[in-house]
């Protein structure tokens, strides 16, 4: 099966991206709250307004400086067949997971997406002997970057899709655990859609030495979640 060049875009690329970010994708993303459930339990987030502020903070100081720019660099490395850069950015992402739960989420989602791509015949080794293979234990962002590359999704669109999937998952968590009504969730979508675009713009403008998340509150919430007595989510 030939690999379409990245950046070609078009209808098939769009459909491939929609498949990647769909809540129906069987990789288990619904099982993780990324510390948000703990923030509810601790009373740090109590309502729609507080949730919006929390999500804006995580987007600005987290995804914009970590997952999104790393995703762009990883996709570029996949396109260039640069196995060393792929391994480097995969390790950098792993090093930025501040709790056992966040690290486990990244590795488990990466493994699940890898298994799914394998069942579809879409792993690098299935498509081209010249492509680097996935690093051992590759994290979710690294595997997502490969999947976007093989689907001919442009890096910018891949970043938007990744950010959208994050937002949709966080709102699904809130609808189950806060609780947050579905209409309120849609109000937050409208509030944060421009922020997703701004986050991608900002991420694309960052140099390597400007990267790195600054989310002490999320790290504390995630760490406390490990011993939370009653919970719905794995992290």
Domain limits, the chain: 11-225
Reported as a single tens digit per residue, the pLDDT across 58-108 is 999 999 999 999 999 999 999 999 999 999 999 999 999 988 888 988 999
Reported as a single tens digit per residue, the pLDDT across 18-74 is 999 998 889 887 777 788 888 888 899 999 999 999 999 999 999 999 999 999 999
CB atoms within 10 A of CB 43: 8
Q: Give the start-end residues of each E strand in 17-156.
A: none
Q: Greater confidence, 35 or 183?
A: 183
Backbone angles phi, psi at 234, to 5 degrees: -80, -20
pTM of the model: 0.91
Q: Which fold has domain 11-225?
A: Urease accessory protein UreF (1.10.4190)
């Amino acid at each position: 099966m030939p690999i379409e060049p990245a950046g070609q875009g078009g209808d098939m690329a769009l459909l491939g991206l929609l498949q990647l970010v769909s809540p129906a994708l069987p990789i288990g993303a619904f099982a993780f709250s990324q510390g948000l459930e703990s923030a509810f339990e601790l009373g740090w987030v109590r309502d729609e307004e507080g949730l919006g502020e929390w999500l804006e903070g995580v987007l600005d100081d987290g995804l914009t400086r970590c997952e999104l720019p790393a995703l762009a660099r990883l996709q570029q490395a996949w396109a260039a067949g640069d196995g060393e850069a792929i391994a480097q950015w995969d390790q950098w992402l792993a090093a930025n997971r501040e709790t056992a739960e966040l690290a486990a989420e990244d590795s488990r989602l990466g493994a699940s997406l890898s298994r799914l791509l394998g069942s579809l015949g879409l792993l690098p080794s299935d498509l081209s002997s010249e492509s680097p293979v996935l690093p051992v234990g590759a994290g979710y962002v690294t595997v997502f970057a490969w999947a976007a590359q093989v689907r001919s999704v442009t890096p910018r669109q891949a970043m938007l899709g990744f950010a959208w999937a994050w937002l949709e998952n966080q709102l699904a968590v809130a609808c189950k655990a806060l609780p947050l009504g579905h209409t309120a969730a849609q109000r937050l979508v409208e509030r944060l859609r421009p922020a997703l675009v701004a986050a991608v713009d900002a991420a694309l403008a960052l140099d390597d030495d400007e990267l790195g998340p600054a989310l002490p509150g999320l790290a504390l919430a995630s760490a406390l979640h490990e011993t939370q007595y009653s919970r719905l989510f794995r992290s």
